[in-house]
């Protein structure tokens, strides 16, 4: 049986699909993961994936491309599967993806769908109202005939040794960036946290992508090791795997930290619900006002002046949370 799993969102979303993908891989002869370009680096880290198919869907992402017949036809020609699992967040429809997979000849398609699917789905599942994204994906996989694995934690392939980047000895990672501004702690607060952690005796490593070098340089200051722009996905996984704790917002590296088993202090803006998106399967302390007026708004820019849900968190709060989560 050739199986296809789709998750067309970002890096962290693809990581959260990992346990469901392992469930499918336990029964299938070949597993293709169809993902978007932002999720592709995570896709290549996941056990159980035999092939990664990258396609930028016009209904996904913050800046979706226009609909082009040639792009759609190219995708349809690229899909070779007997059965498919369409994974989406609770607010997304799986039906556009299911339509294209049906045109590609996929005989059996399963998805969570509140909308009437007509002939697009063979398994129309309803996700539990408050399920974490990992559990929702596993529930769907089970409904489609792929039982839950005994180990449902996030997992990735073994990361490389990154001692040459971090230096020897223990450290705490601070990752200040986020995919959208509403989920980011301010650079000033992040810099204060680095100083507070250093004053408490921790060595601090600051991570970020190629476009975040100015941010990581500011946050690291004189007290942190600045790795901004120096790590691809495998190297970042290695840095996070060796860390005592990771301090970050609700963003992909939080889930990557969970996938390598590292505790997380999560600066979690409540624009999306923590019960669905918090780091999964590792010790975690959530910081931030989960009852703030922005709760469940899915806002990209904070709708409340001063960003109080996160700016109310202090460097002292982070230092205490790091100590707490390390003892969990």
Domain span at 35: 2-143
Least Cα distance to 107 among 188, 190, 3, 237 occurs for 3
- Helix H segments across the chain? 11-16, 18-25, 40-43, 69-78, 95-103, 133-143, 163-166, 187-199, 213-220, 233-242, 252-259, 274-277, 308-311, 315-326
Give domain status of residue 157, yes or no. no
Whether 63 shows a pLDDT value over 90: the answer reads no
Q: What angle do CA 65, 277, 170 make, to 5 degrees?
A: 105
Per-residue pLDDT band at 297 (split at 50, 70, 90): confident
Q: What is the pLDDT of residue 54?
A: 98
**pLDDT tens digit sequence for 194-229:** 999 999 999 999 999 999 999 999 999 999 999 999
Share of the chain above pLDDT 90, in %: 86
**pLDDT tens digit sequence for 259-281:** 999 999 999 998 899 999 999 99
Q: Structural domain tally of the chain?
A: 2
Is residue 65 located within the same domain as residue 193?
A: no
Task: Tell me the average pLDDT across 36-58.
Answer: 97
* Average pLDDT for the chain: 95
Is residue 13 located within the same domain as residue 120?
A: yes
Per-residue pLDDT band at 90 (split at 50, 70, 90): confident
**pLDDT tens digit sequence for 125-181:** 999 989 999 999 999 999 999 999 999 999 999 999 999 999 999 999 999 999 888
Per-residue pLDDT band at 306 (split at 50, 70, 90): confident
Is residue 275 located within the same domain as residue 135?
A: no
Whether 327 shows a pLDDT value over 90: the answer reads no
Give domain status of residue 120, yes or no. yes
Is residue 124 located within the same domain as residue 179?
A: no
Per-residue pLDDT band at 89 (split at 50, 70, 90): confident
Instruction: Give, rounded to a whole angstrom, the gap between the first and last alpha carbons of the chain.
Output: 42
Q: What is the pLDDT of residue 298?
A: 85
Give domain status of residue 227, yes or no. yes
Is residue 185 located within the same domain as residue 312?
A: yes
| Residue where one domain finishes, among candidates 112, 143, 174 | 143
Whether 282 shows a pLDDT value over 90: the answer reads yes
Is residue 172 located within the same domain as residue 277?
A: yes
Axis-axis angle for helices 187-199, 315-326 (nearest 10): 50
The answer to whether 120 touches 103, Cβ cutoff 8 Å, is: no
């Amino acid at each position: 049986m050739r199986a296809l799993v789709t998750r067309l969102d970002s890096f962290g979303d693809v990581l959260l699909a990992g346990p469901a993908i392992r469930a499918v891989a336990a029964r299938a002869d070949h597993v293709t993961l169809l993902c978007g370009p932002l999720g592709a680096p995570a896709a290549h880290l996941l056990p159980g994936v035999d092939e990664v198919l990258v396609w930028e869907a016009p209904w996904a992402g913050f800046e979706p491309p226009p609909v082009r017949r040639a792009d759609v036809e190219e995708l349809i020609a690229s899909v070779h599967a007997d059965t498919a699992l369409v994974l989406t967040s609770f607010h997304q429809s799986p039906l556009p993806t299911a339509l294209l997979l049906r045109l590609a000849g996929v005989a059996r398609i399963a998805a969570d769908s509140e909308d009437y699917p007509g002939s697009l789905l063979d398994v129309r599942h309803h996700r539990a109202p408050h399920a974490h994204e990992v559990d929702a994906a596993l529930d769907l996989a089970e409904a489609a005939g792929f039982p839950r694995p005994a180990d449902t934690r996030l997992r990735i392939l073994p990361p490389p040794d990154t001692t040459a980047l971090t230096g020897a000895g223990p450290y705490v990672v601070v990752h200040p960036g986020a995919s959208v501004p509403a989920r980011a702690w301010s650079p000033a607060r992040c810099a204060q946290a680095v100083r507070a952690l250093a004053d408490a005796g921790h060595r601090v490593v600051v991570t970020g992508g190629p476009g975040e070098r100015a941010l990581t340089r500011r946050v690291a200051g004189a007290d942190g090791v600045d790795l901004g722009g120096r790590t691809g996905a495998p190297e970042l996984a290695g840095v996070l795997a060796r860390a005592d704790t990771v301090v970050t917002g609700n963003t992909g590296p939080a889930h990557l930290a969970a996938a390598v088993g590292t505790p997380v202090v999560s600066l979690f803006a409540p624009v999306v619900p923590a019960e669905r998106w918090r780091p999964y399967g590792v010790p975690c302390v959530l910081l931030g006002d989960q009852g703030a007026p922005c709760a469940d708004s899915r806002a990209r820019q904070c709708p409340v002046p001063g960003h109080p849900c996160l700016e109310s968190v202090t460097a002292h709060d982070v230092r205490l949370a790091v100590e707490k989560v390390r003892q969990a």
